[in-house]
Structure 1
Amino acid sequence: MKVCTIGCGGHSSDVHGPAQQKAASQRGIHLAACCDLNESLAEKYRARFGFERSYTDIQTMIDRESPDVICLIVPTHVTCDLAVDIIRQGIPLFLEKPPGLGTAELDRMRAAADAGKVPNQVAFNRRYMPVVARTHDILETHLPPEAVQQINYEMTRFDRRDADFSTTAIHAIDAVRFLARSPYQEVQISYREMPWMGGGVAAFTLDGTCESGTQVRINIQPIAGKTSEGACIHAAEHTLRLSLLGADGRQFQGYLEHWQKDRLAERFQVTGDLIDRNGTYGEFSAFLDAVSEGRAPAPGLDDCHQQMTLMEALRRRLPRVDFAETLRLSLKPELVISRQP
């Protein structure tokens, strides 16, 4: 399988390049070429991760290399236009989250993918972190979605003064939906603005209910005293506590305790390389498997509408998203989410 990648900046080099390199070593894929507007970055990426050639023009690379799949790891504001162009050429696409700046861009990409039946996967890596995957397996074994009473998820970061933290917060939104195994039904959102920390800096709390009846709470604190991420899940006679980050707050690790009837039923500790612990190799490998076997990769663009709707709501500081009302009235989410309860 011939792989090309677009975007050779810091995030791609830190996260996706190592996963691509490992896939070439363990799976025998062909790292054909990488592309970036910055010729120096493209060449450094090529040399570091083992790609054969580097380019500064996307279409030239596609025409010369005829890739079987493309990885798109670029700034969010250019993702949609590039993705649509690639998809319309029928090339299976692995793209960095979030898939666009909002639901309108997501819908453009979905329409292109659906029209050409082009496989695609969004890089929501939490789903492929071993600690999250193991938690999901335990839930599937012991508890149907409607039996889960509550999911509490917390994402804290240190000194993240992003004007728009919603593009990071979407990771938590997707992780909760994945663990709930049920779509969101309604979500209330509260905000704590901190203008003295910078324009747009704010903490968010999302309180909601899934269609299964599960109550969810997501706390997002971008400027806390410690970087951490984790969740606690409660059901009758079951509690699962999981930590996604290591003690230093920088290295994705993974630790899980499953308690049943007040006894520790399982303790799960993740080891191995960083790209295994943080799910980036797992998600890329799953994408390659799906394309090779003719299956739909997951999560695809079609599975991201709720996550993007909530991301957009955070950016617009909307107080409520009612997916049930959206479904009943067959309205676009932006016509409903601004309504007060």
Structure 2
Amino acid sequence: MKTVKWGIIGCGSVTEVKSGPALQKTPNSQLVAVMRRDPAKAEDYARRHNVPKWYTNAQELINDPEVNAVYIATPPSAHKEYTVMCAKAGKPVYVEKPMAMTFEECNEMISACQENQVPLFVAYYRRRLPRFLKIEELLHKDKVIGTPRHVNCVLYHSLETRYQDPQQLPWTVQPEISGGGIFVDLACHTLDLLDYLFGPIVSARGHATSQQNAYPAEDAVSMSLLFENGMHGSGMWNFGSHTRLDTVEIVGDQGKITFATFGDGPILVYDAHGLTKTITVENPEHIQQPLIETVIKELLGEADCPSTGATAARTTWVMDQVLNEYRQNHKPNK
């Protein structure tokens, strides 16, 4: 493979700026085909992004001999099916986050790709965003907070208007499509980043509830974490608050670092006496491009991508640990 020629299954909003253009702008990469069930939307995307071919059937895109790698950008409920189809066709897969509906589905995807000797990558792009690489450097190279001891994650915001009409709910809060609610959609980014910075989470315990009963999925989650390296963690996600707060606080024996998972706000570094550094690192225009560049390089045999099926499955496992009880008590037929 000299050039990675991509096909996208599910060319929705996430592909407009975050990822699709990156497949075209990265060296040795081309976007040659897209698929969407709605023919008008598929054709429109192809026209606006100068993509030569469009399909309304995923298998037809996968079978296209010019397509030699597939980006699956559908909601999570279709990730396993399309990944297995790509694996059987012998085509590498780059799949959106969260990786799948459950940890069990993640393992089925990994097995299918291993059996067919197909690489599997997942779009946890914070593993290569410059601002988080800077945090990695501060923690592990510069050791500005000494030995990390605890991490605390908080994300809350108000009930958005789009979640208030039960007849027009976005798929992100329909568990049969997303696997959960806004927690699943957003917290996975933080949890995967922590896995990258500190290694696997080996124990996760917590609670999930629906405090507002605005939609079928959970809207409040709290958890405690234990990392393989012995570090502890805690987290709280609530989507019925009066305002918005997004913060991750990493506490060490010589200081702490705080930052937001989303956006490109400042990284704050503290020692025992107070704030010592304020660091700002802007995000790139196409936020997935740094990670996509590593996918391309691995497919060309030049380097490794840090976000694989194996790493991404660990994040789904953590979310499953906390959501299992809620899911059991809120099955669709109850």
- TM bucket (normalised to shorter chain) is 0.7 to 0.9
Deviation digits for residues 41-80 of structure 1 (CA, Å, limit 9, x no counterpart): 1112112222111111223233334323211101211110
Deviation digits for residues 92-144 of structure 1 (CA, Å, limit 9, x no counterpart): 11100112111221111111122233222111122233222211122121449
Deviation digits for residues 214-244 of structure 1 (CA, Å, limit 9, x no counterpart): 1111211223334443311111112111124
Counterpart contact for 1:21–1:50, Cα < 8 Å: no
Moved more, 137-146 or 279-288: 137-146
- Within the candidate set 247, 263, 266, 1:255 is matched to 266
* Alignment-mate amino acid for residue 38 of structure 2: N
Give the distance between the partners of 1:138 and 1:66, measured in 2 at CA: 43
Distance of aligned partners of 1:167 and 1:274 in 2 relative to their CA distance in 1, 3 Å threshold: same
**TM-score under structure 2 normalisation?**
0.82
Moved more, 194-203 or 108-117: 194-203
Which gives a bigger RCO, structure 1 or 2 (Cα 8 Å, sep 6+)? 2
2:57 corresponds to 1:57: yes
- Aligned length in residues: 307
Instruction: Find the counterpart in structure 2 of residue 211 from structure 1.
Output: 228
Counterpart contact for 1:231–1:243, Cα < 8 Å: yes
Deviation digits for residues 263-316 of structure 1 (CA, Å, limit 9, x no counterpart): 6554321235442xxx41212122112211255422111123331122223432
- Within the candidate set 284, 287, 312, 2:292 is matched to 284
* Alignment-mate amino acid for residue 20 of structure 2: G
Distance of aligned partners of 1:158 and 1:22 in 2 relative to their CA distance in 1, 3 Å threshold: farther
Secondary structure in structure 2 of the residue aligned to 1:241: strand
Instruction: Find the counterpart in structure 2 of residue 91 from structure 1.
Output: 91
Counterpart contact for 1:120–1:296, Cα < 8 Å: no
2:138 corresponds to 1:138: yes
- Within the candidate set 297, 308, 324, 1:300 is matched to 308
Give the distance between the partners of 1:60 and 1:183, measured in 2 at CA: 38
Give the distance between the partners of 1:232 and 1:148, measured in 2 at CA: 10
Instruction: Find the counterpart in structure 2 of residue 177 from structure 1.
Output: 195
Give the distance between the partners of 1:115 and 1:49, measured in 2 at CA: 34
Give the distance between the partners of 2:244 and 2:288, measured in 1 at CA: 19
TM superposition shift of 1:145:
11
Counterpart contact for 2:9–2:73, Cα < 8 Å: yes
Instruction: Find the counterpart in structure 2 of residue 18 from structure 1.
Output: 21
Give the distance between the partners of 1:3 and 1:130, measured in 2 at CA: 25
2:312 corresponds to 1:309: no
RMSD: 2.7
Instruction: Find the counterpart in structure 2 of residue 330 from structure 1.
Output: none
Give the distance between the partners of 1:174 and 1:200, measured in 2 at CA: 21
Give the distance between the partners of 1:78 and 1:146, measured in 2 at CA: 43
Give the distance between the partners of 1:259 and 1:88, measured in 2 at CA: 51
TM superposition shift of 1:37:
1.3
Counterpart contact for 1:20–1:49, Cα < 8 Å: no
| TM alignment of 1:1-341, pairs within 5 A | 1=3, 2-23=5-26, 27-143=27-143, 147-159=147-159, 161=163, 162-163=173-174, 164-165=180-181, 166-168=183-185, 169-179=187-197, 181-245=198-262, 252-262=263-273, 265-271=276-282, 273-275=284-286, 279-293=287-301, 295-317=303-325
* Alignment-mate amino acid for residue 222 of structure 1: F
TM superposition shift of 1:19:
2.7
TM superposition shift of 1:197:
2.9
Give the distance between the partners of 2:313 and 2:144, measured in 1 at CA: 23
* Alignment-mate amino acid for residue 138 of structure 1: L
Secondary structure in structure 1 of the residue aligned to 2:307: coil
Secondary structure in structure 2 of the residue aligned to 1:232: strand
Give the distance between the partners of 2:205 and 2:322, measured in 1 at CA: 11
Give the distance between the partners of 1:127 and 1:225, measured in 2 at CA: 31
* Alignment-mate amino acid for residue 292 of structure 2: F
Moved more, 67-76 or 287-296: 287-296
